[in-house]
């Protein structure tokens, strides 16, 4: 059949057959590509993304390098059991170590600032429950962290209407844009082709190759294909246990006397906040409208904006007339389980999706595992 959309030159370079093709240039996909190319230097490795550089959570998250807050861990333990939760914590820990060794802390502005879980006065029951279970949680963390990971405390001066807080020892904040930029540069330096503006719409098999179609009418042929499409996966594969969940983020105007340095969690991580220079980032609130936020459409809502602004004004050590001056949203991939889906879906087609709210911590590890799976098939 005559190809009308690409030149001979494009077909023999960007669109030349690849050994491995990854869909998704986020933290999972790019780490998979880095590992594929490192372990198989002569292989042609291509990454396609629908965005210019990536349209997913990796460029839009809050940049917490974290292992979990007490209320989140206790809720998960109640649901899935201690062993399962601690194996996820171990994954987060290993993933963060690997991310730091690959990117380097300065390149992504990683600061181990420590964290806080804050309990508003209305969350007295949760505060008491955490108090009852803190020594048990610390015992679970003893093999990972020297000293106590969690310490009960009274709220910092300046925090208002709180019943208590827990200090989290090992936790950091980083710049996700710089993290991803560095990972993209690493991949390109190894010879990976990262091609933006290519929304994959489907594929079919042609002999031993998989032919991938994109919205613009281009085709790409590969021997093995990996999907690292996280919350967007339902557009490509309908029967996997992964759905999108939008997460909204707001940034305040500059706060000249902002001295508060740690990361902040509230209510099982449904609210989170951190500083960026002299500004405060706050995000979350999707539990207010679980159905409405089950979408991969970008956007913010008045309801969640008002809720988060009221939280800042009511509880945080900032002026009462503080305002937001920018916002964005990102798409999580979630499902009935917290662990990612990592497997071969059909011959030579693989998936590493459903990174939940912890992809900064585990994305490097999951990407590497995807690469190993693709290499060993
Ligand atoms: C607002 C927000 C705050 C968060 N905060 C934190 C945090 O502080 N700490 C933490 O550990 N985690 C956090 N997360 C979660 C974390 O960002 C994600 O788990 C992680 O980035 C997932 O990485 P990924 O590479 O698997 O997916 P993504 O980064 O979502 O990448 C998937 C890529 O696939 C591409 N794609 C999808 N479909 C197609 C298609 N059909 N064709 C071509 N390309 C396609 C997308 O454009 C996208 O670039 C947060 C997430 C959000 C949304």
Ligand 1 atom nearest the C-alpha of 330 is: 53
- Residue 377 banded pLDDT, cuts 50, 70, 90: confident
Fold classified for 243-334? D-Amino Acid Oxidase; Chain A, domain 2 (3.30.9)
For the segment 287-307, what is each residue's pLDDT rounded down to a tens digit?
A: 999 999 999 999 999 999 999
The kind and range of the H/E element at 38 are helix 27-39
Q: Give me the sheet containing 271-276, strands edge to edge.
A: 150-153, 162-168, 115-120, 263-266, 271-276, 279-284, 243-252, 324-334
CA distance 214 to 292: 29
CATH 3.50.50.60 in the chain, residue ranges: 8-60+177-241+337-376
Verify whether ligand 1 is closer than 6 Å to residue 361 (CB atom).
yes
Instruction: Rounding to the nearest 10 degrees, give the CA dihedral for residues 145, 85, 87, 246.
Output: -100
The pLDDT score that the predictor gives to residue 4 is: 63
pLDDT at residue 219 tops 90:
yes
pTM, two decimals, is 0.97
CA distance 169 to 147: 9
Q: Check the CA dihedral 61-64-66-68 and report its sign.
A: negative
Verify whether ligand 1 is closer than 6 Å to residue 226 (CB atom).
no
Mean pLDDT of 130-149: 93
Q: Residue 82, class by beta-carbon neighbours within 10 Å (0-12 exposed, 13-18 middle, 19+ buried)?
A: middle
Cα of 62 from ligand 1 centre, angstroms: 11
Verify whether ligand 1 is closer than 6 Å to residue 56 (CB atom).
yes
CA distance 91 to 61: 19
Structure tokens at 8: 């001979």
- Facing residues of 177 across strands? none
Chain centroid to CA 58: 5
Ligand 1 atom nearest the C-alpha of 27 is: 25
Neighbouring CB atoms inside 10 A of 295's CB total 15
Query: pLDDT: is 355 or 2 the higher one?
Result: 355
| Closest-CA residue to 35 (of 376, 369, 377) | 369
Q: For the residues of 186-228, what is the DSSP string, one character each?
A: HHHHHT-EEE-S--EEEEEEETTEEEEEETTS-EEEEEEEEE-
pLDDT at residue 1 tops 60:
no
The pLDDT score that the predictor gives to residue 336 is: 93
CA distance 277 to 64: 15
The kind and range of the H/E element at 173 are strand 172-173
Using CA positions, which residue lies closest to atom 7 of ligand 1?
64
Residue 100: helix, strand or coil by DSSP? helix
Cα of 85 from ligand 1 centre, angstroms: 22
Mean pLDDT of 317-330: 94
Cα of 230 from ligand 1 centre, angstroms: 6
CATH 3.30.9.10 in the chain, residue ranges: 243-334
Using CA positions, which residue lies closest to atom 22 of ligand 1?
359
Judging by DSSP bridges, how do beta strands 279-284 and 64-65 pair with one another?
unpaired
pLDDT at residue 360 tops 70:
yes
For the segment 231-261, what is each residue's pLDDT rounded down to a tens digit?
A: 999 999 999 999 999 999 999 999 998 888 9
- Residue 2 banded pLDDT, cuts 50, 70, 90: low
The pLDDT score that the predictor gives to residue 70 is: 97
For the segment 165-176, what is each residue's pLDDT rounded down to a tens digit?
A: 999 999 999 999
For the segment 112-133, what is each residue's pLDDT rounded down to a tens digit?
A: 999 999 999 999 999 999 999 9
Q: For the residues of 261-323, what is the DSSP string, one character each?
A: -SEEEETTTTEEEEEETTEEEEEE-GGGSTTTT--------HHHHHHHHHHHHHHSSS-TT--
Verify whether ligand 1 is closer than 6 Å to residue 68 (CB atom).
no
- Facing residues of 81 across strands? none
Using CA positions, which residue lies closest to atom 44 of ligand 1?
49
Mean pLDDT of 49-69: 97
The three-state DSSP-derived secondary structure of 314-327 is: HHCCCCCCCCEEEE
What b/e string do you get for 232-245 counting C-beta neighbours within 10 Å, with b at 16 or more? bbbebbeebebbbb
Structure tokens at 135: 């020594």
Verify whether ligand 1 is closer than 6 Å to residue 27 (CB atom).
yes
The pLDDT score that the predictor gives to residue 11 is: 94
97: Cβ contacts below 8 Å, ≥ 6 apart = none
Task: Match 């991949």 to its residue by tokens.
Answer: 187
Mean pLDDT of 322-337: 96
Cα of 116 from ligand 1 centre, angstroms: 24
Share the mean pLDDT of the chain. 95
| Closest-CA residue to 197 (of 14, 61, 321, 19) | 14
Verify whether ligand 1 is closer than 6 Å to residue 63 (CB atom).
yes
The pLDDT score that the predictor gives to residue 260 is: 85
Counts of helices then strands in the chain (DSSP H, E)? 8, 18
Mean pLDDT of 199-212: 96
pLDDT at residue 361 tops 70:
yes
The CATH code that applies to domain 8-60+177-241+337-376 is: 3.50.50.60
Cα of 106 from ligand 1 centre, angstroms: 22
Mutate to test the pocket of ligand 1, among 360, 364, 367 (most ligand atoms within 8 A of CB): 360
């Amino acid at each position: 059949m005559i190809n009308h959309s690409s030149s001979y030159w494009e077909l023999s370079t960007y669109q030349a057959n690849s050994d491995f093709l990854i869909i998704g240039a986020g933290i999972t996909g790019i780490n998979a590509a880095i590992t594929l190319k490192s372990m198989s230097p002569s292989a042609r490795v291509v990454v396609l993304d629908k965005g210019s550089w990536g349209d997913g959570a990796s460029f839009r998250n809050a940049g917490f390098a974290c292992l979990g807050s007490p209320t989140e861990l206790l809720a998960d333990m109640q649901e899935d059991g201690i062993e399962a939760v601690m194996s996820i914590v171990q994954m987060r820990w290993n993933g963060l170590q690997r991310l730091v060794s690959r990117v380097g802390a300065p390149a992504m502005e990683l600061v181990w600032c420590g964290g806080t879980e804050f309990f508003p006065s209305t969350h007295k029951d949760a505060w008491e429950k955490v108090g009852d279970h803190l020594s048990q949680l610390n015992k679970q963390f003893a093999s990972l962290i020297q000293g106590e990971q969690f310490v009960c405390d009274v709220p910092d001066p300046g925090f208002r209407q709180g019943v208590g807080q827990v200090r989290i020892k090992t936790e950091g904040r980083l710049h996700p844009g710089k993290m991803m930029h560095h990972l993209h540069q690493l991949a390109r330096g190894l010879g990976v082709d990262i091609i933006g503006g290519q929304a994959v719409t489907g594929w079919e098999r042609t002999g031993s190759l998989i032919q991938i179609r994109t919205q613009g009418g281009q085709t790409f042929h590969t021997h093995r294909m990996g999907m690292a499409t996280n919350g967007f996966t339902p557009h490509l594969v309908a029967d996997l246990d992964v759905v999108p969940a939008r997460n909204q983020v707001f940034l305040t105007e500059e706060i000249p006397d902002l001295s508060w340095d740690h990361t902040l969690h509230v209510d099982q991580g449904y609210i989170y906040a951190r500083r960026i220079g002299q500004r405060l980032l706050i995000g979350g609130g999707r539990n207010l409208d679980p159905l409405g936020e089950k979408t991969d459409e970008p956007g913010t809502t008045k309801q969640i904006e008002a809720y988060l602004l009221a939280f800042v004004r009511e509880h945080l050590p900032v002026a009462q007339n503080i305002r937001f001056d920018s916002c964005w949203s990102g798409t999580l991939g979630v499902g009935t389980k917290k662990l990612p889906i990592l497997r071969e879906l059909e011959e030579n087609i693989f998936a590493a999706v459903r990174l939940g709210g912890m992809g900064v911590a585990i994305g490097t590890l999951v990407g590497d595992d995807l690469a190993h799976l693709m290499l060993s098939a």
